[in-house]
Chains A and B, each alone.
Chain A
């Protein structure tokens, strides 16, 4: 029996060798005999009635497979939460780039030309492009009131705090759309035959989401739809719901043509037509005592959902719950609202609403500090949530978190006090202004509220005929380390070497539904189920008398082989069981919103050059408490990668819209950080553990997206003494603000 732990060590990434040799197979690396290529004819306008579709007579259209809404065998919708989004526009369009018609042909070059040879005539309808126009109901474009969803969180009695307040602090903060910009574009291959039904291979996060959507779209039973995840070149939420659309399109073409069909988007199509982070607007009004204590407040959090409901209700939920940050609010009222516009639907992106509302909260804390005359450190320290206190949803903090200590350590690691004083001195002369800023925040791990209970995820662990062990989950690898961490957990539970454990390729014909790979739930929730299923295998072998209580890997392998020889398949499954005493009220939005939270204190140091107005992050300290770190290199990689995306969100990545269309759908003019743009990102962990997660793990993937933007903008305000309440904050935005307001 091995005494060494696998958990907590940086074993090699399971599929790492294939990735460094170029052998890893992504969907575009796959070809099927007789395969056609598919393409999408899209709307050029935000809103209108389709009057006529005509085909350029110079093309031999009989050679093409053409699919319209009329060819859909089942229901014309993308089944997700609501069913309001059509798979193909039927008679009207509600956003630019909305899919209208599909084409397939064996020659991809000809196909590209054919897309341009389809002309669509519209009767244009007035459209809505801003949250404000949507709220004013200038035109009703969705439902009866342009509103996808509202939430109300109410704690204590906010209406009574205003008269007792020494200060009332108002603020309004906005964040822009952000493109996930995974380097592998969306893509799928679909094949159809009468016997087996539809099979889809794709770049995706959630095989069972695609499975559900294809059943509804094609009117097929569960066993006639198969979804296989190929190696996936980045996702970040961008392959959570959108693959159901592109898979639906390929499936429709495959059903009609009876040939396999591959659809791979090019970069511009991917950037302009697929989802992005929801733009947001947050209004704060806070009652504060003269000693800097928050007495209560109101927060209005609004997001732009685009033309269809898609995931907006759940993004809104997470954003609303996180809106109060890691602070104690004796009284609070938070209103969340997702509104419709005629933009392509916004969707999931790492953090899922929390980076938006936390940007506002952390900017607002600095605003409160200035108003009261306290430092950004002191204002936070006086309001941090403490064990025994309740969050805005009245969830009691039961773990032993000391946010004051966490902040102290971040300040020490970043040398905050000394730098702050030094910069104030140096900024008096010269064009380079330096600043330092911080953000403290939390991120709930796993699905919100009753989400995990409804999901009721199932995982399997299987003993194989060669004596090795295989993990069976629909949880997908897209860079974050799912394969590696879940194998580590099974190996640890079984006391086996890491190399003795493998993980199955996610294939709905082969693996149970362990839920979607989202919401920082995989290591914590799915990992715990894997541990429990692995223990089941061990118990079965021990109970059969084939394995002793203490065993060597060789003995385990022998027992595994013997058991299979004698009894056949050796598989153990585990299903999610909600922890006892967890209460969540979906109506009142009250109770245990998350099984646990990860906590963090980030410090950013910036330099703004007043000759170019370029802001650069010079140093970044990311300190977080994430339970047990299962794999130090992967965990560090998650944090650095998330911080880099957060820096992009704050300073570089601006979607330019015109009439609801993205104008800069290219890597040439939508700018993400390069290796030369980023500072050293210094990562530190505290490990409190977590009773709900595998070996004490908490969710980690989304947390690092929440803190960088407010920390950076707080630092820019420190450098320039001017207020910036909107991101992205590009040089031209800094120029405009300080030209209007002046520098101190």
Chain B
């Protein structure tokens, strides 16, 4: 956990999270991860390593994949952020979420939110990725349970379903 500088007090930041405008009070150097979890109660974003290696805290920031443990609140000001909570509809899972469920892409589940956002980022840029492209795109998200195969399969399935829609 980053220790916010004692000299700077909390400031107000506004950003858009999952389509909603949110204003929070946070230290400028407070991690976006903590702001999402503690201020906005969006607990789906997980901390795995706190140093940008594991990708569990992945979110989309202005459409780009970002490790929220490395983003200070200040930097996120004004940004559009998507977390795992922003993917599903009221009662329906997104195509990617369904594919993860069906293919066995989630085991312990702790890397799953970040993995799904990483996959979403890939499919936004490349609607029909090859297996190698999927493996490359997800290589910043560590999973200790699955050995990745069923995750890769889930992303490929989601790509097929999306292109069929």
B161, chain A: closest CB distance, angstroms: 15
Determine if B11 is an interface residue (Cβ-Cβ < 8 Å): no
Name A477's closest neighbour in chain B (CB-CB).
B108
**Chain A interface SS verdict (over half):** loop
A108 engages B108 (CB within 8 Å): no
Bound-state CA distance A19–B110 (Å) is: 8
B51 engages A183 (CB within 8 Å): no
Bound-state CA distance A674–B134 (Å) is: 12
B54 engages A183 (CB within 8 Å): yes
Name A30's closest neighbour in chain B (CB-CB).
B43
Identify which of A325-333, A439-447, A631-639, A692-700 touches chain B. Answer: A631-639
* Chain B positions 102-145 with a Cβ under 8 Å from a chain A Cβ: 102-113, 116, 134-136, 138-145
Determine if A609 is an interface residue (Cβ-Cβ < 8 Å): no
A183 engages B108 (CB within 8 Å): yes
Bound-state CA distance A13–B139 (Å) is: 25
What residues on A are CB-neighbors of B46 within 8 Å?
26, 28, 183-184, 233
Name B87's closest neighbour in chain A (CB-CB).
A21
What residues on B are CB-neighbors of A636 within 8 Å?
104, 150
Name A110's closest neighbour in chain B (CB-CB).
B3
A675 engages B139 (CB within 8 Å): yes
A23 engages B150 (CB within 8 Å): no
Name A670's closest neighbour in chain B (CB-CB).
B53
Name B105's closest neighbour in chain A (CB-CB).
A20
B44 engages A675 (CB within 8 Å): no
Determine if A12 is an interface residue (Cβ-Cβ < 8 Å): yes
Name A677's closest neighbour in chain B (CB-CB).
B139
What residues on B are CB-neighbors of A183 within 8 Å?
46, 48, 54, 56, 108, 110-111, 142-144
B51 engages A233 (CB within 8 Å): no
Bound-state CA distance A665–B117 (Å) is: 27
Determine if B68 is an interface residue (Cβ-Cβ < 8 Å): no
A5-30: contact bitstring with B at CB < 8 Å (1 yes, 0 no)? 00000101101111111111110110
A21 engages B84 (CB within 8 Å): yes
B100 engages A20 (CB within 8 Å): yes
* Chain B positions 67-109 with a Cβ under 8 Å from a chain A Cβ: 83-85, 87-88, 93, 97-98, 100-109
Candidates B3, B45, B149; contact of A640 at CB < 8 Å: B149
B110 engages A21 (CB within 8 Å): no
Determine if A567 is an interface residue (Cβ-Cβ < 8 Å): no
What residues on A are CB-neighbors of B140 within 8 Å?
674
Candidates B3, B51, B151; contact of A675 at CB < 8 Å: B151
A234 engages B145 (CB within 8 Å): yes
A233-255: contact bitstring with B at CB < 8 Å (1 yes, 0 no)? 11110000000000000000000
B43 engages A29 (CB within 8 Å): yes
B63, chain A: closest CB distance, angstroms: 19
Determine if A182 is an interface residue (Cβ-Cβ < 8 Å): yes
Determine if B147 is an interface residue (Cβ-Cβ < 8 Å): yes
Bound-state CA distance A666–B50 (Å) is: 10
B44 engages A21 (CB within 8 Å): yes
B91, chain A: closest CB distance, angstroms: 11
What residues on B are CB-neighbors of A566 within 8 Å?
none
Determine if A231 is an interface residue (Cβ-Cβ < 8 Å): yes
A640 engages B53 (CB within 8 Å): no
What residues on A are CB-neighbors of B47 within 8 Å?
28
Determine if A181 is an interface residue (Cβ-Cβ < 8 Å): yes
A232 engages B53 (CB within 8 Å): no
B142 engages A16 (CB within 8 Å): no
B51 engages A478 (CB within 8 Å): no
B116 engages A20 (CB within 8 Å): yes
B122, chain A: closest CB distance, angstroms: 11
What residues on A are CB-neighbors of B40 within 8 Å?
none
What residues on B are CB-neighbors of A673 within 8 Å?
147
B102 engages A12 (CB within 8 Å): yes
A226, chain B: closest CB distance, angstroms: 23
Determine if A197 is an interface residue (Cβ-Cβ < 8 Å): no
What residues on B are CB-neighbors of A643 within 8 Å?
147
Determine if A65 is an interface residue (Cβ-Cβ < 8 Å): no
Take A634-B104, A637-B145 as given contacts and tell me if A234 and B150 are in contact as well, using a CB distance cutoff of 8 Å.
Answer: no
What residues on B are CB-neighbors of A19 within 8 Å?
106, 109, 112
Determine if B66 is an interface residue (Cβ-Cβ < 8 Å): no
B142 engages A674 (CB within 8 Å): yes
Candidates A185, A480, A674; contact of B107 at CB < 8 Å: A480
B123, chain A: closest CB distance, angstroms: 15
Candidates A23, A236, A675; contact of B138 at CB < 8 Å: A675
Candidates B37, B45, B144, B149; contact of A234 at CB < 8 Å: B144
What residues on A are CB-neighbors of B1 within 8 Å?
108-109, 112, 266
A157-196: contact bitstring with B at CB < 8 Å (1 yes, 0 no)? 0000000000000000000000011111100000000000
Candidates A20, A236, A678; contact of B147 at CB < 8 Å: A678
* 21 chain-A/chain-B pairs, Cβ below 8 angstroms: A12-B102, A13-B104, A16-B106, A20-B100, A20-B105, A21-B87, A28-B46, A108-B1, A112-B3, A181-B144, A182-B110, A183-B142, A231-B109, A233-B108, A234-B145, A267-B50, A645-B147, A667-B142, A668-B53, A674-B139, A675-B148
- 4 shortest interchain CB distances as A-B pairs: A22-B44, A233-B110, A479-B108, A19-B109
- Residue numbers of A with Cβ under 8 A of B are 10, 12-13, 15-26, 28-29, 108-109, 112-113, 180-185, 231-236, 266-267, 478-481, 633-634, 636-637, 640-645, 666-668, 672-678, 680-681
Q: A633-B104, A673-B147 are in contact. List 18 more A-B contacts (CB 8 A).
A: A10-B104, A16-B101, A18-B109, A21-B44, A21-B88, A29-B43, A233-B111, A266-B1, A479-B145, A633-B103, A637-B145, A668-B53, A674-B138, A674-B142, A675-B134, A675-B138, A676-B135, A678-B148
